[in-house]
Amino acid sequence: MRVTLAQVDSVLGDIDANIEHAAGIISKASREGSDLVVFPELHLSGYSVGEIESDLALKPTDERLERLAKLAGSGGVVLAFPEAGPGGMHTYNSSAYYQAGQLVHVHRKLYLPNYLGFEERKHFTPGQSMRAFDAGAARLAMMVCNDAWQPQLAFLATQDGAQVLLMPVTSAQSAFPERYDSQGYWRGITRFYGRMCQLFVVFVNRVGAEGTMRFWGGSHVVDPWGNVVEEVPESQEHTLTVDIDLTDVRRRRRDIPLVKEARLGLLQREVRRLLDEGGDL
């Protein structure tokens, strides 16, 4: 499987400009034989949607998104945008997967940060489901940025058969680098999931700046042994195409059957107990 990581900048609020930028990257990747192009979180709108008065929300069936999907030919593409929910009540921070020009799956970000400069709860509604999905010969799952800080989601995706975790991200330099190093944390997270979930992780971050936020890039691919196999230079727009062998996932899981021993019944009983004792948010 040939995957292209599209580490791009975005023009805040200018969906048409961002679509044209994506179109050029998708067309080039398709000509070069890429099976999948992955863009960062909210690359079609920019991150700070609260600073824009106009409504930036799109439906996954928007003709502009379908045009981008068709540019990938028979391949797949992950596009990320504010999604207009039904009835005009909700907007989601969504990443959609298209294959051969057709919508296959939409992941609505589940865990919305609301601290420091991140105020997503003001603008978005959290999603309500975590699903793996089939894309050609591969089974994939998506976690958008802060979702990846919740290990139970990677566990669920793995038990649902995911061979590849796609992570569209908008990660900025930390305001407190002495306490939290963004790059170091993310590298630890992606390598942990590769090793413990025994799958490939495709981490795609954006670059550029919005206000005080500086996005550092550092997109990379981790294999089922937890090794970083390819990475993009930090702080600059760049595309990187990586070939991954999905048979490595099965081989790793057969050699060391970690994910086989999930004991879902045990977990169900204990989760039910915790809900009964303390409830949920």
Domain range spanning residue 68?
Answer: 2-278
HSE-CB of 89 using CA atoms within 13 angstroms: 3
Structural domain total, the chain = 1
Q: pLDDT of 107-128, one tens digit each? A: 999 999 987 767 899 999 999 9
Given this model, what pLDDT does residue 202 score?
98
| Distance, CA of 246 to CA of 237 (rounded, Å) | 27
CATH number of the CATH domain containing 146: 3.60.110.10
Mean pLDDT of 84-105: 95
Instruction: Inform me whether the pLDDT recorded for 77 exceeds 70.
Output: yes
Q: pLDDT of 224-263, one tens digit each? A: 999 999 999 998 999 999 999 999 999 999 999 999 999 9
The DSSP symbol for 49 reads G
Cβ 116 vs Cβ 143: under 8 Å = no
Query: CA distances (Å), 149 to each of 47, 111, 167, 263, 280, in order?
Result: 19, 9, 11, 22, 18
